[in-house]
Structure 1
């Protein structure tokens, strides 16, 4: 795979390596199990949930991650301290390399956090016909990512909504999707998507706000009937969608989306504060 570690150094099975040493990345030949964790004020956000999901992804493809959670947490702390970084995304990656056995990498990656204007104006998205073979497992597929990136650039879009063979939209290329109709929020059933960590906390927030969640896929033909939509993810939190192809949505002014965003941000801040005491 292409080397993607940035900053001064990264960790291999707990051992510090200089980022200039790209040999180990070049030796990764098969799609690895991975997670991306956002670090805010030196705190890896919702780390326990990310590690649980990473192990679940491995289990789905009959793989076992040997490194312990406490050691992975130490890896991230050392990565933060060695590089002097307070806010950036960390990638955790596990795979087998011929002649080395199982390796576990922790490294910083290029991270983009939407500017305030994206939340005020909403984002443009496109429809992209694609169906994941294993929607519940987070496995890196380079060809898929490259194809989506080309389409996003061509259409000046921020995210692609994946459309399956029946015309339904279970998720985004790198996010979970939520669609608002009246006083209800629609999102894909658990078996159809990667269960995002942000998604998990959004569902908790909706329960607290007494907002009805319908776990049901939206058909592409029904997009015009929506009152709003938003995507969620590690780097974006709750991000309103202003358009899907040529369909306009007034998501930025939707009361439900605003309430969900505010309470989610509060939950995120509470977690960070609990880890910095």
Structure 2
């Protein structure tokens, strides 16, 4: 089943029926992508998503051929033509030797429930790492593997463990740990620079919460009090278990970060 969802998708500047979309479009060549969240009919933090697209392109010595305004217009067209005000839109710049193509479409989303925000979610460790962790490049093999683990183990997310024994990030999210009143996360060069991750770091700095970027050993996980995921779909989501290890979902630092992030989203919507 195709990941392209709803009624219409964009291929370059043309709207087409989702029945015509083929996942194989993305499985050859190289695909730079972003997933943006639509809330109340508006794509939130779009400026940051576009900036990351451009930075990802630079890392592989290419460039994005759509302007910010073109991306904004494409998203608004999808929202209007599909009559959708809440959901996730995937933006893809596919590069082959003989062609360049832009795709934009709604994808099925799985937002956490109220209970999951309150009580946390289960996660599982999987040994894997991205070849280019700081650039958002579509990796069909890793995505398929982690999606299968999530389904078979009935968990919310897979936590990636690199060859050196460090936990880095989730398969579709970034990862933070809390010990006492300090937040810990992987170094910038080991992970994707998530949009929500950046907001968490900004919030911590604003509130005067110490934040340490360091490699986090799997063996040291029991020493942390709490941990959480950040990402476009989960936003700020507590973790209650990593494998058999349990973590608090009521840590005051975690509660502060969640509240401040909600206020940032609302401020962005009001712009």
TM-score range for the pair, normalised by the shorter chain length: over 0.9
Match runs of 1:64-213 below 5 Å: 64-96=63-95, 101-213=99-211
Once the two structures are TM-superposed, the CA of residue 12 in structure 1 deviates from its matched residue by 1.5
Q: What is the RMSD of the two structures over their aligned residues, measured on CA atoms?
A: 1.4
Q: Give the match's secondary structure for 2:19.
A: coil
Q: Counterpart in 2 of 1:262?
A: 259
Other-structure match for 1:228: 226
Q: Report the Cα offset of residue 62 of structure 1.
A: 1.7
Calculate the TM-score normalised by the size of structure 2. Answer: 0.96
| Matches of 1:16 and 1:140, distance apart in 2 | 23
Whether the aligned pair in 1 keeps the contact of 2:29 and 2:97 (CA below 8 Å) is no
SS at match of 2:124: strand
Report the alpha carbon displacement of residue 27 of structure 1 after superposing the two structures with TM.
Answer: 4.0
Partner deviation per Cα, 1:88-145 (whole Å, 9 max, x = no partner): 100000113576x211111101111111010111111111111211000111111111
Distance 2:4 2:150 in 1: 23
Deviations 1:196-251 (A, max 9, x none): 0001111111111110000112111111111100010001111001011001111x
> Using a 3 Å threshold, how does the CA distance of structure 1 residues 98 and 168 change in structure 2: closer, same or farther?
closer
Matched length: 270
